[in-house]
Every structure is written in C-alpha cells, then in structure tokens.
Structure 1
Amino acid sequence: MKALVAVSCTAAALLSTCAHAEEPATTCPVDAKVGSGGLSTLPRVIVLATGGTIAGQSDPRAADAYNAGSVGAQQLIKAVPGIEKLARLSTEQVASIGSQDMNDTVWFQLARRIQQVSDKNEADAVVITHGTDTLEETAFFLDKVLHTDKPVILVGSMRPSNAISADGPNNLYEAVEVAACNKASGRGVMIVLNDRIEGARWATKTNTTSVQTFRSPDSGSIGYVDPASVRFMTSQHAPHYAGLALPAAGTLPRVEIIYGHSNMDGMQIDDAVANNAKGIVLAGVGDGNTSIAALSALERAVKKGVVVVRSTRVGSGFVNRNVEVDDDKSGFIVSLDLNPQKARILTQLLIANGVTSAAQMQQRFSATW
C-alpha cells in the first residue's frame, strides 16, 4: 500500500522546492513561475503529439461528432493561454491518429524518442498528447520500457479542440504544470486529466463520455493539480525500472484477450492457439474465472507452450492465485490488479524478453512498480 504522504508543488515553487501538504499551502499568480532569470530559468518540456480527441475537430455529421487528430502540436500549444510561463516548450508530431488506431510502430517511436531525450538531456520532462481510448495502454507500455527518472506525462481530452467547454486546453496546461514540478521526477509514467494525476499501472478509462473518465479504482489518484498547484499524495522514491527491452524487430508477440461470458466453450481459445498466439489473457468473470470447457481449453494451450494469464472483466479488484482455479496445477499466471489490456502488454513484453516460465512471469506480474 502506498504511503499517503501529500506533497504540494505550488505555483510559486515550481522552480524551487515543493512543500509538504501539512505545511501551509502557498499560491501565487501564474507569472510568479517565471524567475529572476526570465524564461531561460524555466524547465524544458518537449510535447510529443500523437493525435486523439485533444487534437480533434467537430464534424457536422452529428451534434457530438468529431474527427480525431486534426490539429497539430503547435496549434494545441497556442490554444492554451499562459502555458509558455510554465516551461520552455518544444513540440514534435509523432502521429496524427485516433488512439483506437494506436499500434506497436508508434509505441516504439515514442519509447525510443523519449529515451533519447532522457539520455541526451534534451529536455527536463516529456508530455505526450494522446487519445483517451488506449491512453492507459500506452502509458503502461512506456512505464515498462523506459529507463528514466524524468517526468513523462500522458494527457488527452474527452471533447474535441473546438467543442463547447473543450477540456483539452486545461488538461494540457495542467500536464505541463505537473511535468515542470520538481517533485514529479522518479514517479514513473503518469496520466493527467481533469485535475487528477494517475499512475500508469492503476489508471483506467471508466466512462465513455465524462470528462472525469480516468480513475484508479484499486489505488486512488496519486495526486491532484489545478492552475495554482500540484499536490502528490505519495512520496517520491528511488527510481526502479522494469528492465524490459524493446524487441529489436520492432513488434511485439501476438497475445490475444478472450472475454469470458456465460455458456462459454473453448472455441475462441483453440482458435487463438491455431492462429499462432504466443499468449492468451482471459478477461474472466469474477475473480478471473471461466467455464469448465474454457478452462480445459486454456490448459491445452499451456501444454502447447502458450502463456495463459487470468485477468477479469470486472472493473476493480485483484485476481488471486489458487482460489477458484488451481493455477499451480494448470500452469496459469494471474494478473493481480492489472486489467486485461495491461496484462496483455506485460505478457507481450515478458515473452519478447525471454521470460516465459510461469514462476518468473508471476513474479513480474507481482511487482507493483
């Protein structure tokens, strides 16, 4: 369980020291973030744009219709008043897609560019603009492959850039604000939307349209942000890297997610094995369970060398070992707190890094950081 030690980074302290929350919080005008040295004293933040709703524009085909990825990175920055007072900003357009089309190619581009930024000290922090549909997956993937203590923040929006009450400008402002805070380093990849800071492992999209869609049901938010302050609810810790390398081939192994339901047979599982899946993640019912027929199919898959991970279709809670299912006997791994989409990514990365034994994989799934 994470220690609930609140740390506050006020507007005035972005360039100095974040104060502990039990001390009186101080606020100041945004202009106070510019020190005596002028803009040159501000932290350097690079914005990597990938498209998404935050870069979308409304379309007349329906009242709430829009086309994702229509606005470039520079346009996004120019639409946010005062953001230039938070950091020295530079932008790069990595992709212009809706995040439903996010893919290994873009993931690898992001990971390599961010690592390069860190290794060559090209910036003090990175902000990635991204669609919300798969934002949590990109955040989790990057959290597992990056080797840096520099802040890496993913941000998106639920409304397109030219919508009434567009949430993108405020989200982008606050993402840069978090990135510029000197208490943001060493926390792994983070997600910033709607005044909340979420950790990559725990955050998930919970609502189809609400601006308060990203939550961390099993851990809670790791911090909060508004235009005047950044407050972390967990203490900083020494960086700990997952140590997972990007496959040289530039692609990840095929791992399928199979959704559990009533009256389930083993057909989808057998088909996945026949189509050369290297791993299967069960989005099971309840505690990652499924029918006898489906469990038998999963056991057949394990005997053919396919990695099987039990996760759950339920929105919160842990999948535990050897409760309703004899995981030791069947050779299964359990996802614990990881939802199916994140369990899939970790399975892909572990297989790609040669970690395939059930014992080794379970140990890596059990690592919360």
Structure 2
Amino acid sequence: MSVAARLFDGKTAKAQPVLLTLAEDRLYVTAEDGAPVGDWALAELRDENRPPREDELRLSLDHEEGRIVVTDIAFVEQLRHLCPALQKRRSAPKGWWRPYAFWGGGAVLSVVLIFTVVLPLLAGQVARLLPMETREQIGSQATDFIVQSIARRGGTTPEAVTCTNPEAEAVLEKLVSLLQLEGDADETVRNITVVKTKQANAFALPGGQLIIFSGLLDLADHPNGFTGVLAHEIAHVAHNHPTRLFVTNAGVATVFSVLLGDVTGGTFLATLGQMTLGSGYSRDFEREADQSAIERMQAAGLDVSPMADLMQKLGEQPGSESFLSFLDSHPGFEERVATLTAAGDNGSNALSETEWAVLQGFCK
C-alpha cells in the first residue's frame, strides 16, 4: 500500500508529489510515474516539525536529502511506531559552524572597516555638502544645548550663564583676527559664546561656532596660554573638523535629513548630545589642530611656550573630559606637551596687561 506525500528537495520551492511505501525497515519513495526517488532507513528518520504536530510529519533522512511532508493520519501513526529516533534531534554536521564563522567574521570586519576607514574618509566629502547656513544652524543648536546643560547644572537660566561684555569681546575679536591665516577664508570663526562656569574648557562646533568656558580664563596665568588654546580651536574650524565629526557620529539617515533641511528632529538632537558630551576628535585631527595652532602663533610672532604650561594645568583639572575640548586624549597628553615645548619660547605676548585683565574679567 502506497501513501501520497510531498517532497521538498531543497533545490526548488515547489513541492514534488511522491508515493511512500513501507517495506521491512525502509521507506521507499517513488515519483507518481513510478520512478524511484530513494529509500530511507526507518531508524534514521527524524521529524523536523518543532514542536511536533499530531496531524503531520516532516521527515528527513539527513541534512542534505530534503524533506517529505506526510499528512495521512493512519500512516503518520504507523511511522511513529516504526521509527525509533523520530523525535530525536540530529547532531549538527561536521564543520557546520564554518559558514557562520566566515560570514559572521566578514560582517564584523565590514563594520570595523566602515567605522575606522570608510566613514572617516567619506566624512570630509559629506561635510562639504552641508551648506554653510545648515552648518551654522547645527552649531547654533549645539551651542544652545551646551548652554542649557550648564544652566541646568547650576540651577539657573541660560541667560544667566551667557556672558556679555563689549570691551572684553573686542579683545577677543582682536585675538581671533591675529590668529587667522590666509587659507581660512571659507572656514572662519563666526561666533564666540563665553559661558560662566568653573570648568576650564574651549571647543569648536560646526558653522564656525566657538564656546569658551570662563574657567579657562580663570585658570590661565598668561595671555599666550589662552591664545594658544584659542588658536587650536580656530584650527579645528579652519579644517572643518567639527562638521566632519558631526557627520561621522550622525550616520547616513541623519545626514540626509539635515541635507533636506531638517535640523530639529530627535535623531539630530541626540547626535548633538553625543557629539558635545562624549565624542572626541581623532588622533589625526588633534595633531593637525596642534600643529596649526603653533603655526598660527608663530605667524603672529607670539611665544608658544605658555600654551604648554596651560595644558599642564588643564591636565590637573577634574572633569575636563566632560565636553568635547582642547584637552582631548588623542594623541597622548605627554606627546602634545612635548610638541608644544619643542616649538620654543621665542616671540611676544599676545595682549598687554590691561587687555589681558579685561579679557579675564569677561564674566565678572
């Protein structure tokens, strides 16, 4: 007696109708035209249905032979009694893990390459696609985010921590002009916000936005130390590092939404938070900014050595890594101090004593 069933050979999605016949310890499989398809040992048959079904068996002989679906209830019951290993799990074939390891390893390697090679290479190109108006919007929103964060920490308002001092602003503008180079025409400082806080810090944001924490002015004991940090952040702006960092952190979806004019969405704001509170520039970016700062100071005839002294003091300040800043861990702290020290101590002071006193009193 033969029973109709369906064979899935594993090569095509379409089921092939077959006939099943029991004989002693074997299950013979034939096509509808009587052509033999195979004979399977009952002791080796497994039911692949998980969990098992009362009205169906999905028979397999091994991992490669395909599957036979049996729905004849009487035949199903008969096979349950004749096949001793029907519900046992078959051991995995030798080397089953190799393709998973190959493709999984390839996927991991691809992700690593994307984040360490592809994105950094593309970030500069994509950053240039962002119009200056859009970069300024990004920088402005990032500035608001930071000012509001500082205000919340101090239990006050953004207006109360944003310093306004026309006389000190004029001194600051003088320093910025002194440190600009001819090649900065396309990427220049457009706005500086000084925030009243004990933290000693300064950092650049997209669109030529700079933020200075008043604690940096309090910590600096020489105008050239502060001027060197300012030169470092101006260099970040000139090389478009803040926008490139934003593009790297944002991901494709956010960048496209920004290109289309959406600079207010939740993903965008989350990227700003990540950028300003936890992300640092790459080792190459920091080296480039350090070297450019030295060139700017020397081009203006200024002594670079107080910049190294201020960095030493910054390194002793707790919590200086809380925001994206001049004092970044890439490259190593000692390497950066050595680079600045090697620049020598020739040159003049950036400001007079009177101008320096005015600048230090920016928030007082």
Superposition TM-score, scaled by structure 1 size? 0.23
- Higher relative helix content: 2
Superposition TM-score, scaled by structure 2 size? 0.24
- Higher relative strand content: 1
